[in-house]
Amino acid sequence: MSLQWDLFCRVVDNFGDVGVCWRLAHDLAARGEKLRLWIDDPSALQWMAPHPRPASIEIRHWDAPAAGLAPPDVVIEAFGCELPKAFVAQMAVQARPPLWLNLEYLSAESYVERSHGLSSPQFSGPGRGLTKRFFYPGFTSRTGGLLREPDLLKSQAEFDAAAWLSSHGVHRRAGQTVVSLFTYANMALPALLSELAQADVLLLVCAGKVQDQMTRMTLPADLNWLALPFLSQPNFDRLLWACDLNFVRGEDSFVRAQWAGKPFVWHIYPQDDLAHAPKLEAFMARWLADADATLANHYRTLWRQWNGLQPWATPSLNLPELLRLGPAHAQAWRAHLAEQDDLTSQLIHLARKTS
Ligand SMILES: Cc1cn([C@H]2C[C@H](O)[C@@H](COP(=O)(O)OP(=O)(O)O[C@H]3O[C@@H](C)[C@H](O)[C@@H](O)[C@H]3O)O2)c(=O)[nH]c1=O
């Protein structure tokens, strides 16, 4: 019997809030659940999630009235977005209060395992009190896991990279390395582009800020690059599968690069107080724990430079070494992650247990 889920998403900036929420809603719907996705700015869904969309996902504007709707079994507050007060008041007077989960940002830091599953009583005015539970995605069995749709690995196994690239106007020459670039504005971008221009590389630049930055730069004459349009989320995933090396950012593309099983470089969401630095180091500590020492040192230097934590010392990319040692490590990491229960399965299990 399917449950009714209300998923609240407030678009802070960039595309990660809506990216994660859409992917979660789609995965829940694909498993037979009923979704209402409440969102304040659905504009990115036009390219990220083109029609046809699953009929069991109803997209509602954040301020749309909630009165008279079928009461939810589960309410997910994504990234602490603060539910509308009228909605909380309605939850409090429901005959059976819904399971209220706060879906937290992804981190490899140790506090995640300690915090995952904790509850916090919420004063909600008339009616009974409500309890909010904290649900932390993560990389270990003591966390909520990662979004991984059931057919992901099968789809990858059946994927024809050359056909997909060609269908998107990308024609790689034999022996050419294809690199994707999805990043925030980055001081190290000129240095990276200069190194890529000296290699036999075709650079596929994702739509958004980095394309704007590149159009304002003097680019290396030998740089072979292509500006991509905004891709649907499934096609964005396939871009990462088709490339030999992926530069990703934020949270969702960071996870999808790990599922792609290819070498990747992460531009973490930068924070003014440098709080992103320990988050970056915590992930590298887990991700490189079993890596070849040469590769681990290479990645640590490259990632710190790409994230502005140390100056870029050319050559930093050292593509031949990265492509020699990186693929086996990336595939081993993906296999390790695939052993843990995925996030959506854990959510459904929790919801059924408490509904
Ligand atoms: C460029 C591109 C992205 N995408 C999708 C992939 C992802 O779902 C989404 C991008 O999200 P991210 O990779 O997380 O990067 P982001 O930087 O866009 O989002 C960020 O938003 C901040 C508010 C959060 O604090 C960050 O953690 C992060 O999520 O956009 C496409 O579907 N097609 C595209 O062409």
Q: How far is the CA of 166 from the centre of ligand 1 (A)?
A: 24
Rg (CA), the chain: 21
The CATH number covering residue 128 comes to 3.40.50
Query: What ipTM was estimated for this complex?
Result: 0.98
Q: How far is the CA of 175 from the centre of ligand 1 (A)?
A: 30
Residues 137 and 110 in one domain: yes
| Ligand 1 pocket, CB under 6 A | 12-17, 19, 48, 105, 182, 206-208, 230-231, 233, 236, 249-253, 269
CA distance 299 to 121: 43
Asked if 26 and 234 touch (Cβ cutoff 8 Å), the reply is no
Residues 305 and 163 in one domain: yes
251 noted as active-site residue: yes
Residues 55 and 201 in one domain: no
Structural domain range at position 35: 4-146+341-354
Residues 136 and 157 in one domain: no
Residues 258 and 330 in one domain: yes
What is the reported pLDDT for 154? 96
Residues 206 and 284 in one domain: yes
| Nearest alpha-carbon partner for 8 in 94, 106, 80 | 80
Please give the chain's pLDDT, 355 residues, in tens.
899 999 999 998 899 999 999 999 999 999 999 999 999 999 999 999 999 999 999 999 998 988 889 999 999 999 999 999 999 989 998 888 999 999 999 999 999 999 999 999 886 566 568 999 999 999 999 999 999 999 999 999 999 999 999 999 999 999 999 999 999 999 999 999 999 999 999 999 999 989 999 999 999 999 999 999 999 999 999 999 999 999 999 999 999 999 999 999 999 999 988 889 999 999 999 999 999 999 999 999 999 999 999 999 887 899 999 999 999 999 999 999 999 999 999 999 999 998 7
Residues 298 and 213 in one domain: yes
Residue 178 DSSP code: E
What is the reported pLDDT for 355? 76
CA-closest residue to ligand 1 atom 32: 233
Residues 126 and 203 in one domain: no
Residues 125 and 259 in one domain: no
CB neighbour class for 63 (10 Å; exposed up to 12, middle 13-18, buried from 19): exposed
Residues 286 and 156 in one domain: yes
Residues 17 and 76 in one domain: yes
Number of domains, the chain: 2
- CA distances to 160, 265, 266, 273 from 326, rounded to whole Å, are 21, 11, 14, 31
CA-closest residue to ligand 1 atom 31: 233
